[in-house]
Amino acid sequence: MRRVLVLALLALALPIAAWADGIDTFTNEFGSIAISSAGITSSQSQLETWGSTVATPNHALGSVTFTTGSLATGSIRYGGTFNGGTTTAADGTSFVVVGIGQWAKSLTGSKTTPVTIFNGWFVGPIQWTLTSAPGKKNLTYVLSGNIMGYLWNGREVSGTTTQDIYTVNGQLAAGIGHIKMGQNILGSPEPGTLGLLGTGLVFIAGIFRRKLLGT
């Protein structure tokens, strides 16, 4: 009976532990975006942190660039959604993190920089939310969505991005915005996959228990 309980506890704890160990967080700031009904494209937002590593003052660890799909619902001015890709196809979207300098070398083992740290894309609808009053001259938005892709070591990861955007009426009409800060989380492996493994361990534990009771 004790062995059965141990197996069951391991099965339940495995997804949680593996997910927690696989978290990478990073932030980006500054840079501009081009906004149109065809999509939103960022330009050279600075990578400021990756995990516990923080860029030194007036420097960056690298850059973050992204591209959404076309406007699906709503409007650019008042908010809506942009198209994303799927879990198997980028569908014209992208989300790429490039590292530079000694930090990128130490992380990836590459002898040269820049090097791609994360190469991914958006998955599903991308939210474009107006967070300031519509009539204001200074406008703020939040671009948020799910992302997935591959790290430099080939590990598949998925997560979320939230980009705080600011602009003014005249610039918005010209399709120009600016990134204030981006908060990003990547996790691996998928909890669902490990959950299936945990379920399998519980099933094995049940068979083992029945055999013990049979004897």
Distance, CA of 186 to CA of 194 (rounded, Å) = 16
Model pLDDT for residues 52-70, shown as the tens digit of each residue: 999 999 999 999 999 999 9
Distance, CA of 143 to CA of 31 (rounded, Å) = 14
Pick from 198, 209, 183: which is nearest to 24 by CA? 183
Pick from 181, 90, 167: which is nearest to 136 by CA? 167
Let me know whether 158 and 171 are in one domain.
Answer: yes
Give the count of domains, the chain: 2
Domain that holds residue 88: 25-188
Overall pTM surpassing 0.85 (yes/no): no
DSSP H helical segments within 39-117, as ranges?
101-108
Model pLDDT for residues 9-44, shown as the tens digit of each residue: 444 444 444 444 457 899 999 999 999 999 999 988
Is a pLDDT exceeding 80 seen at residue 97? yes
Tell me the pLDDT of the chain averaged across its residues. 85
Pick from 34, 139, 39: which is nearest to 80 by CA? 39
Place of tokens 């050279």: 44
- Asked if 83 and 74 count as a contact pair (C-beta separation under 8 A), the reply is no
Let me know whether 93 and 75 are in one domain.
Answer: yes
Let me know whether 41 and 10 are in one domain.
Answer: no
Model pLDDT for residues 193-214, shown as the tens digit of each residue: 444 444 444 444 454 455 545 5
Let me know whether 69 and 115 are in one domain.
Answer: yes
